[in-house]
Structures are given as C-alpha cells and as structure tokens.
Structure 1
Amino acid sequence: MRIGILLLVGWSWVAGVSAAAQQRPRVVGPGESSAANGRVVALPVARHKFVVGEKLVYGVRVTVPSLGLRDAPVARFSTEVVEQGMFHGREGLRLLVRAETIGFVKATLFDLDDRFVTYLDPVTRLPYRAEADLKEGGRVERTVTVFDQSGRTAQVNGGRLIKLSGDTYDLAGLLWTTRNLDFEGPTTIRLSALNERNGTLVTVEIERLGRETLEVAGQTVPVVQLALRPLDANGKPSDERRIRLWITDDAYRYAVRITGGNEIGEFKAELSRFPSRSDTLEALPSGK
C-alpha cells in the first residue's frame, strides 16, 4: 500500500526514495565537536530567481491497473515562495510545499494532506530550518529540523544531532535547488538531502538528458529534461523508479512536469497553469 500512496501523490522523486537509497547518518557523540573551522563557502550562482508570491499548482494523474486506475486524477501538490523576512532569528525565505489527495481517492482510498515549510538562506540557498506537518490517513505527525550548515549537523525535534558530510537540503527544498542547476555545465550532479521523517540521508544523482519542447497548460515551452536517480546501497545511481523532471529553459525555471513509476504503476504531475505577472508580488534582487 505504501508504494500505491507514493504513486498517488506523485511525490516519490523526493519522499519516496527506496530504503536501499538511504544512508544511515552518523550521530554526533558526547563531547565531539561539530564545528567546521575555516571552511570556505562557495556561494551558488543565481540562475533561478526566487519570486515572492510565486505559487505553482500541479495536478497528479496515475495509472495503477491493479486498482483500476488509468490516467486518473488523484492528487495535487503546490510549491509557493510565501515571503522573505526574519524567521527564527535570521533572514530567510519561507517556502511552502503541500501535497494532498483529492476526489475519489481522498474519500475512499487514502486521505493525505502533507505540508512542508522550508526556511532558506537567501544567499547560500541552503535550508536552516524545515518543518513537516503530515496527515496521512489517521496518522498525524510533526517534524522540525534545524540545520547548522557550517557545523555540518542537523537536529531533529530538538533531539539527537545528525552529522552531515556536506551541504545538505531538506527533501521538499530539493525542488528549488534543482530549478537552479547549471544547464550548460556538467551533465550529472549529486545532491544530498535529509529525510526528516526517519533521520536518514539521501543522495540523488541528477542527469541532464537533453532539450526539447513540451505542450503544458496551453503553452509550448522549451524545457530541459532531467533524470533523478537515488543512490542504492552500493552507492550506484538507481533508475528503478524512472523519475523524470522537466524544467523550462528560461529565466523562470518552472518545473512543469514530473513522471515516474515501477511495476505497480505510473504517475504524472503536471503544472496546471503558468503564473501571470499579477501573481508575482516581488522579485528578489539579482544574485538572490
């Protein structure tokens, strides 16, 4: 049933990585220093600009023959740049991702409503706090993760410190990071994220497959197709879930389509409409 849930929400490219792709983190022991003295931070090039007020809404359709579902609308999810300001004692961007089942699936199969809030440093683009509020069936769960990127640690729910090996994202925040990738540089890159739900580290290899045009939300747009492959237990990229992501090849870097699947079924999440100029309240200064 867990595989079916992942297909329904179209969220497997971040939250549904297989157990084989997860690496158990090292917990910082008593008296052990977590400081990274003298580390030089290489700031990212801002290829994608955050726009306060940008909200992207996606419809999710699945084909699961065993459940009698064929290209059926089952869920929606959205991403939103909510605001910029002072949060938890420092300057940041508050980003929101929400995933929920709809209609027949929500009423009869699985009632899901997950919300992920990321607080991102507007300069380094790395998270310093992540909150997950999950409602899945009768289960309700809240997780708060505080990142210390310079000290290479993360603390989950005020408990143990998890040692990080390098720059680490929260799972929901990976989407914005992917939108900022260099489409002219190396064809593959690896990103690491912390799965706040179980305290495991996930590494995903992203490969740029090529350029094409897509018809999305009534518009023909140039896009770059990416393959996302979580590393398996042997450290090898796994294409078991066949996760593909299309991002517009322009200054906006909209993620317009996500697909994936396995032997159980397939899903496709697609942007419902492009934001109008009136939808975007404020563009952050260049370099942000």
Structure 2
Amino acid sequence: MPTTPSGRSSEAHGQRQSRQPESHDAHDGLAVDDEREAPMLRLTQDQMLVNQALVEKIFACERAEIALRQSEQKLHDLLAHQHATREDERKQISRRLHDSLAQNLLALRMDIVMMHQQTTGKHYRLRDRIGAALDNVDVTLRSVKELLGELRPACLELGLLATIEMELRKFSRASGIAYDLRAHPGLGELVLNEEEVLTVHRVLQEALNNVCRHSLASRVIVQLETGAGTLAMTITDNGIGFDQAAPRKPNSFGLLDLVERVAAHRGHLVVSGARGHGTEVRLQLPLSQACANDPV
C-alpha cells in the first residue's frame, strides 16, 4: 500500500528534524559555558599575579624593615661611642687643666700672698696692687674650678649621693632656688661604677639647667630610690611647666642627647609636665649585677 511507506518516511523525517535542534542546543550550551569560564580564568590569573606582587611587596618591606633596624642600631652604637669618647676627652682635658693651670695658679697665689705679707704699710700703693693681683688670681682659680666641675665632677670617687649633693649645692648657690633631696635609706652605701654615676649626674645637671633657664621655679625636689635592681631618680619643680603638645624647638637636642645616653645603659628617661603645674624628669637606670646584689 502506497500510504504506509510514506507515513513511516514522514515519521522518520520528523524524528530526524526533532533531533537536529537538540544537537544544536548542546553546542550552544558548551559555547555559553566557555564564554562564562573565560572571564573567570582571566580573573583567576590576574588575582594570582596580584597575589604574587603582594608577596614580593611584603618580602621587600620586611627586608627594608630589617635594614632600618640595623641602621638604627648602628646609629645608637655610634651615639654611645660618641658619648664615651666625649667623656674621655673631658676627663683628659680636666686632668691637664688640674695638673698644669690650676697648680700653676696656686703656686702664683702663694708667691703673691708672700709678697703681700712682706710689703710694709709704707708701700701702700704696691700693697694695693698686690692685693688686686691676689683677687684676680682668686677669681681665676674659682673659674678654673667651675670649669673643672663642668668637665668632670670632682667627687665622682665619693659615690652617687655625694655627687648629687654637690651638684645641688652648686645649683642653689648659682640660682637661689631651694632644693630638697630625698634619698632612700642606705643609698649612701650603694656602690656604682663611674659611668653609671656620671650618667645620673649628667641627667641631673641638664634638668637643673632647664629649671634655672625656663621654669621660674622656687623649689626643686630630687628623689632617689632603689629596688628590683633599678635606680630611680625623679626631679620635680614647682615652676610654670610646659605644653607637651607644643613642637620642639629647632636645634634643641639636650634632652634627646640624654635619652640616647641613658638608653646606652638600658635605662629610660621620661620628661612630663603641664602648663602651670611644673615639670617632672624621671630616670630609671638598671644597676650592674654587682650593685644589684648589694644590700641597700
């Protein structure tokens, strides 16, 4: 029958027609997936490059930080060496001044005193001139003595407490500012090495100079304490104080120099104050092992 084959043929043709769109849709799906994966792949690659750049940047920063720390440590070592060299030069200059100039002035004074004693009252003009020369020699001797004290305290060998007391008496005579020294019981028996005593003295000297020049204070309190292998010195005045938020004056390196000097001995120096409430300078200095073991 002619109708049957044509029916089957048309049915098969319809099936072939219906299968062709399915193959086309699968191909379109793969194309869409490829289009979606391509940006993701590029984004992943870009992210990997960014991460690699960040890692390299972190390593570079770490290397720079290590180099900065090494440079900072070298700077601290250089400053400590300069402080030690400067103190050694002061010591040598002080010794030479004492051995030459001071002794020669003392010998000259003795000769002038003998001349003054042997001059009779009849030679009153000569006696007056000799007396004036003697006064000039005494003034020069006092100046040399003060210069020697600035270069190197004369009582370093007597210990910390004697050095501080002498510096306070000299400060009070020169400025007219009263002082109050409050020392921990038994501090006079504490034995420090020369460098530690000299560091404490330099801190006290600079603090007293600042009080005399800037504070307008009428009294200074110096308190000394020891404990846990540490020496603490607090210097307080009742002056006008200062504004801690104010910028530091240019070419003002006195306190910064002291901070570096104290840091070379593993210590800490803190300056605090407020406008109208005075200033406080606090020093904490670790003691050497021999000093820390001594009973105080």
* TM, length-normalised to structure 1: 0.21
Higher helix share: 2
* TM, length-normalised to structure 2: 0.21
